[in-house]
Chain A
């Protein structure tokens, strides 16, 4: 049995809190407060501390942490990325330039992506079907040229889709561990 600590990053409104609520089998610990910056993203609440959830993916136990998307809270990014082993970057397709957010968040968490594993999830694709896939793949390659970074279109509200995303990240982490062990 292995234990994984997975971090959800990405801009405000990408669906980090929603994704952890979809996945978690325990009642999530959340730090949602009223969002006063409706120009940045029009939704009732925003995360100012962290989200925390847990899921058993037999035989593995997975701890899920979400960071606040707003950069004003990047001190929490530092705290949470230390303990993480894998990274899920979520970005909403209806953001003005989704690839710019992918660039910023992959760069901020690049050390974690290289040390552990990383996948990118493009959310709210039903609201804004665009050809951003290529641009996001190219951005991920530019930030992390020496690894393969999978990109998925997912709905953060959908448990099955989020499980698929999470399982592919864990497969990525396990593959890299096995390769590292074989090499040593």
Chain B
């Protein structure tokens, strides 16, 4: 039996959409967010239109490069990664132990509450992840 890729699995897509919608409702600062597979396919995103398709592939690259650095320096496991720019910020966080992450683009550097909102969204999606 071949397992469906996460971005083609309706149960995972709807769980991811719900997690992102909850995140958007709680976090004012978020401009866009995507749930993505480790190899950079979009599972769900907000807003549904206007979100750059490349956000998912770029986030998977950032995550893999970060994991490589963490591995190389033997500093444990990646929790999340954060890129702070002059007019916004990007945070990538893995979804539990799944081969999936959430990337969020913020209008300004996120505060502790915003990071907690993202952590909650990732935890919700991990919990809702269909067993199999």
Q: Spell out A's residues near B (CB within 8 Å).
A: 29-38, 46, 48-50, 68, 70, 72-73, 75-76
- Besides the known contacts A29-B68, A34-B39, A48-B61, 15 further A-B residue pairs in the complex with CB atoms under 8 A apart: A31-B65, A31-B67, A34-B38, A34-B99, A36-B41, A37-B5, A37-B39, A37-B41, A38-B2, A48-B38, A48-B40, A70-B40, A72-B40, A75-B61, A76-B61
Interface residue tally for chain B (C-beta within 8 Å): 20
Q: Spell out B's residues near A (CB within 8 Å).
A: 2, 5-7, 37-41, 54, 57-58, 60-61, 64-65, 67-68, 72, 99
Complex Cα gap A129–B47 (Å): 48
Number of A-B contacts (CB under 8 A): 59
Question: Are B64 and A36 in contact, CB atoms less than 8 angstroms apart?
Answer: no
Question: Are A36 and B65 in contact, CB atoms less than 8 angstroms apart?
Answer: no
Residue on B nearest A39 in the bound complex, by CB: B5
Residue on A nearest B6 in the bound complex, by CB: A36
The distance from the CB of A95 to the nearest CB of chain B, in whole angstroms, is 19
Known A-B contacts A35-B39, A37-B41, A72-B40; the reply to A49 vs B54 at CB < 8 A is no
Question: Are A73 and B67 in contact, CB atoms less than 8 angstroms apart?
Answer: no
Complex Cα gap A126–B29 (Å): 55
List the 3 closest pairs (A to B, CB-CB), nearest first: A31-B64, A33-B38, A36-B5
Question: Are A31 and B39 in contact, CB atoms less than 8 angstroms apart?
Answer: no
In the assembled complex, which residues on chain B have CB atoms less than 8 Å from the CB atom of A29?
68, 72
In the assembled complex, which residues on chain B have CB atoms less than 8 Å from the CB atom of A30?
68
